[in-house]
Amino acid sequence: MRIRNPLYTPDETDAVSAADLQITLRKRGRQLATIDALIATLALRHNLILLTTDRDFQAAPELAQENWMSP
Looking at residue 4, its amino acid is R
Give me the pLDDT at residue 9, please: 92
pLDDT grade for 5, boundaries at 50, 70 and 90:
confident
What is the rounded CA–CA span in Å between residue 9 and residue 24?
23
Q: Which CATH class is domain 12-66?
A: alpha beta
Among residues 23, 60, 25, 20, which one has the least CA distance to residue 43?
60
Q: In the predicted model, what is the mean pLDDT of residues 26-36?
A: 95
Domain ranges of the chain: 12-66
pLDDT grade for 51, boundaries at 50, 70 and 90:
very high
What is the rounded CA–CA span in Å between residue 69 and residue 18?
26
Q: In the predicted model, what is the mean pLDDT of residues 56-69?
A: 91
Q: In the predicted model, what is the mean pLDDT of residues 18-24?
A: 96
The answer on pLDDT for 71 being more than 70 is: no
What is the rounded CA–CA span in Å between residue 36 and residue 39?
5
